[in-house]
Amino acid sequence: MKSLAFLSLLLSVIFTAPGPERLITRSGSISFYSKAPLENIEANSKTALSVLDKKTGQIEFSVLIKSFTFEKALMQEHFNENYLESDKFPKAAFKGRIDNISNIDFEKDGKHTVSVTGQLSIHGETKTITTPATITIQSGTTAANADFNISLTDYKINIPSLAKDKISNSVKIVVSLQYEKPA
């Protein structure tokens, strides 16, 4: 009985463990830029976690809101405290799929333009986004890059009227994921 329970446990572990078709990175870079009449805002995080499934084309990433660094400490404080409310919503995450992943040969060097569709969750709100992206394979390592615009109102990030001239509603997000070489 005991050995059977152990076996079933072992089997379930094997079935759920990431297979060799999955690429992973824990040091993905995510930046955002917002241009406003009075002030440009930009911030970057280099600790995004991402997994890409080469077989199914599923791609996901998540990033801690607090890991974004700004040039100005006060901006960073306001970003966390007043706008993104990182205590309540600590993470931003994306869960999507790359179209026609089977067209890509991960064994061969090359640059592929693809389309990604998925759910982007920020500040407790989830919206569907579709964006072109590039998959670059170079000497065995895979990188995924994309940039797209989001609107702050979509994610219920409110800008007080006092700061309207300082913060643009449209924010450009740049995602750059350099996956680890599979072991």
Residues contributing to the site for another protein (CB under 8 A)? 1, 4-5, 8, 11-12, 15-18, 22, 24, 26, 42-47, 49, 51, 53, 58-62, 64, 66-67, 69-74, 76-78, 80-82, 85, 87-88, 90, 93, 95, 160, 162-163, 166
Cα separations (Å) of 148 from 33, 78, 130?
11, 23, 9
3-state SS, residue 81: helix
Residue 12 or 115 having the CB closest to another protein: 12
Instruction: Tell me the closest approach of the beta carbon of residue 78 to another protein, in angstroms.
Output: 8
Taking the least distance from each CB to another protein, the nearer of 16 and 139 is 16
Query: In angstroms, what is the minimal distance from the CB of 118 to another protein?
Result: 12
Q: Map residue 120 onto helix, strand or coil.
A: strand
* Shortest Cβ 80–another protein spacing (Å): 7
Residue closer to another protein (CB basis): 82 or 170: 82
Q: How far apart are CA 161 and CA 119, in angstroms?
A: 29
The secondary structure of 144-169, three-state, reads: EEEEEEEEHHHHCCCCCHHHCCCCCC
Q: Which residue has the tokens 């955002």?
A: 32
Least Å distance, CB 62 to another protein, is 6
